Amino acid sequence: MSQHSGGEAAARVTLRHLRERVAEGGRFACLTAYDATFASLIENAGVEVVLVGDSLGMVIQGHDTTVPVTVEQMIYHSACVARGCRRALLMVDMPFLSYASPQQAVANAGRLMQEGGAQMVKLEGAAAQVEIVAALSAQGIPVCAHLGLRPQSVHKAGGFRVQGRDEAAARQMVEDARLLEQAGADMLLLECIPAPLAETITRGAGVPVIGIGAGPAPHAQVLVLYDLLGITAGRQPRFVKNYLAGGGPIQEAVARFVEEVKSGRYPGPEHAFR
Ligand code: KIV
C-alpha cells in the first residue's frame, strides 16, 4: 500500500500564508478531492488548497445536482481526505440546508471541523447569508463564501447558468461580496460569472479570491479533479481544461495545472465568460 505523505513533514499551508502570497501578487491552486489517495497526490503535485466539494454528489454519487448531499456524507469524505492531506489547507463544503440558521451553521461547521478535519468551511452565499457568516466567524471558524453560480440553488436558478450577466445582478453581486467579507468571510469563491465582473470583485476584495469559470483575475483557480483529468461524463463547461489529454502520469497533469495557475496561463481567454 502506498504512503500518503512520505518523507519530512512540510509546513501546513494556512490562511495567513495565502493572504501573504496574494499581497505579494502571487497565485495559488485549489482542486477538489474526495479520498485520501487523491488528496495526497494532488498536494504532492503542489496544490495548496484541497476542497472537499459537495460536487461529490455528482461525480462520486452520480446525482444530477449537489442537493442530495448530507452533512454525514461530507464528514465521511472529509475525514478520508484529511488522512491523505498533510500540507494543504483543507476546505470543506457545507451541504444544502446545513446552514439555514446561524445555530445550525455553527453546529454543522463544528462537526465538519471536529469529525471531518476541515480547516475552513465553504458555503454558498449572498446578502441573505451575512448573519450566518458572522456567526461562524465569531466562533473562530474560517469561512469561504461562494458567489455567482451557486449549484445548491440550481432549481431556483433554473439550471446551471452563468450569473451576473445583467447590470443589476452584477451590481448586487459586488455588494454581496462586500457584505460577506465585512461579516467575516476569509475567502471568496466566484463561479461562472463574466470575467470583467470577477475582476471588479477581486480588485475590491481584501481577502483571497478563488475563481472557477470567472476568468483570469482571481488570485487562485479551482477545478473539479475529475474534470481536470477529463473523466467526467457529458459535455464540459467552457472553463474546463483536460490536463491529461496528452497522456502521462496523473501527478504530472496536476502539476501542469498548478504551474499554469501560478504563471497565469490558465485560464486563457477561451475559458472565460463575457
Ligand atoms: O463542490 C465543488 O466542487 C465546488 C467547486 C466546483 C468550486 O464548489
Per-residue pLDDT tens digits for 48-62: 999 999 999 999 999
Q: Which residue has the higher pLDDT, 233 or 20?
A: 20
> Ligand 1 centre from 124 Cα, in Å?
10
**CA 205, CA 131: separation in Å to the nearest integer?**
19
Q: Which of 30, 222, 232 to mutate to test the pocket of ligand 1 (most atoms within 8 A of CB)?
A: 222
For residue 7, pLDDT beyond 60: no
Ligand 1 atom nearest to CA at 210: 7
Check if 149 has its Cβ closer than 6 Å to any atom of ligand 1.
no
Are 66 and 152 a contacting pair, CB within 8 Å? yes
Nearest protein Cα to ligand 1, atom 5:
53
Find the radius of gyration of the CA atoms of the chain. 17
**1 — pLDDT class (breaks 50, 70, 90):** very low
Residue 2, pLDDT > 60, answer no
Res 140: pLDDT: 98
Of 191, 199, 260, 270, catalytic: 191
Q: Is 163 in the pocket of ligand 1 (CB under 6 A)?
A: no
Quick one: pLDDT band at residue 10, thresholds 50, 70, 90?
Answer: confident
- Check: CB of residue 42 under 8 Å from CB of residue 50: yes
Q: For the CA atoms of 102, 209, 121, 155, what is the dihedral angle to 10 degrees?
A: 70
Quick check: CB of 214 below 6 Å from ligand 1?
A: no
Residue 191 a catalytic site member: yes
Global confidence as pTM: 0.96
Nearest CA to ligand 1 atom 8: 53
Is the model's pLDDT at 38 over the cut of 70?
yes
Write down the pLDDT at residue 183.
Answer: 98
Report how far ligand 1's centroid is from the alpha carbon of 21 (Å).
Answer: 22
Mean pLDDT over residues 191-218, rounded? 98
Q: Return the residue whose CA atom lies nearest to atom 4 of ligand 1.
A: 53
The stretch 91-109 carries a mean pLDDT of 98
User: What is the Å distance from ligand 1's center to 95 Cα?
Assistant: 11
Distance CA 111, CA 116 (A): 7
- pLDDT band (50, 70, 90) for residue 5: very low
Model pLDDT, residue 136: 98
Walk me through the domains of the chain, giving residue ranges and CATH numbers: 15-271 (3.20.20.60)
Q: What is the mean pLDDT of residues 234-246?
A: 94
Distance from the alpha carbon of residue 123 to the mean position of ligand 1, in angstroms: 10
- Give residue 7 CA to ligand 1 midpoint distance, Å: 30
Asked if residue 22 lies in contact with residue 12, where contact means CB atoms within 8 angstroms, the answer is no
Instruction: Write down the pLDDT at residue 4.
Output: 53
Residue 186: pLDDT over 70: yes
Q: Which of 63, 191, 227 to mutate to test the pocket of ligand 1 (most atoms within 8 A of CB)?
A: 191
